[in-house]
Amino acid sequence: MAEELVPDRPAPLARRAAVLGSPIAHSLSPALHRAAYAGLGLHWSYDAIDVDRAALPGFLAGLDDTWAGLSLTMPLKECVLDLLSEVDPAAERVGAVNTVLPGRHGWRGTNTDISGIARALEEAGLHAAPTTATVVGGGATARSAIAALAALEVSSVTVCARRIEAAESVAALASSFGLSGAATDTGPDERLISADIVISTLPGDAARPWAALAPVARGALLDASYHPWPSVLADHWGSSVIASGRDMLLWQAVEQVRLMTGLEPPVDLMRAALPA
């Protein structure tokens, strides 16, 4: 009897994804996503592509069905909102999208920075019942931090930004989430740094002025900056509960991989892919 022929299994569908921003060469997202794809056995590509505000509409218009999704970083998280057919409620509420996915009638936006912030703090050892928080900065990451703090059941937050208008806008968002929100532009003081959670959304070592008071801190710190690390603020922090921008980046990427692939991300492989 002739041996029955078994057809070869089709190769897994090769799809594309990328992180967009400007500048973008420094991004660690390709390392995280590529490690996930390798661990999941997916023959997908993930690139870093320099796209600024002016180029974003044309880039989105040129996407085809080989694209599984996009990660967005500065300066695109806010300007992309008007270019999408759908925006998830949480992303619309905070006015920031960091993830673009195929939608029912085009492209939809969501925000995984929110879960990334909360998960980074929890993994760092955040105690179970934080009530007060300070957010330093007034941009898109600060607004995502407000949603994360609401998910962590914080009851009050003070937003400190160089421009009082920016601080007031983020504080108003906190109030819409049911938090008691206050705004200030006076800079660091002992009351602000003594909150149960302090989240700095400032780039690089721009939070350096807060470092002089950092030794009195007894709460958790998330410094969204990850280069250099440890930051001056983290290096002087009085508590051992410290999360970095790399932790936030990891966990928001974990959720992005889950959304883009529909599979459970290999967290350990992704973490190991981050440069020392």
Active site residues: 77
Position of tokens 């960091």? 98
Phi, psi of 67 (to 5 degrees): -85, 125
C-alpha closest to that of 225 among 208, 202, 242: 202
Query: Any residues with CB less than 8 A from the CB of 49 and at least 6 apart, and which?
Result: 18, 19, 20, 24, 59
251: its two tokens: 């966990």
Determine how many CB atoms are found less than 10 A away from the CB of residue 129.
10
Do residues 223 and 234 lie in contact, with contact meaning Cβ atoms separated by under 8 Å? yes
Residue 131 half-sphere exposure, CB side, CA atoms within 13 Å?
0
The CA distance from 253 to 234, in Å, is 23
Residue 246 DSSP SS3: helix
DSSP 54: T
Q: Exposed, middle or buried, 263 (CB in 10 Å: 0-12/13-18/19+)?
A: middle
Q: What distance in Å separates the CA atoms of residue 6 and residue 135, rounded to the nearest whole number? A: 60
Whole-number Å distance between alpha carbons of 28 and 22: 14
- Closest to 231 measured CA to CA, from 195, 196, 197, 207: 207
Bridge partner residues of 108 (DSSP): 86, 101
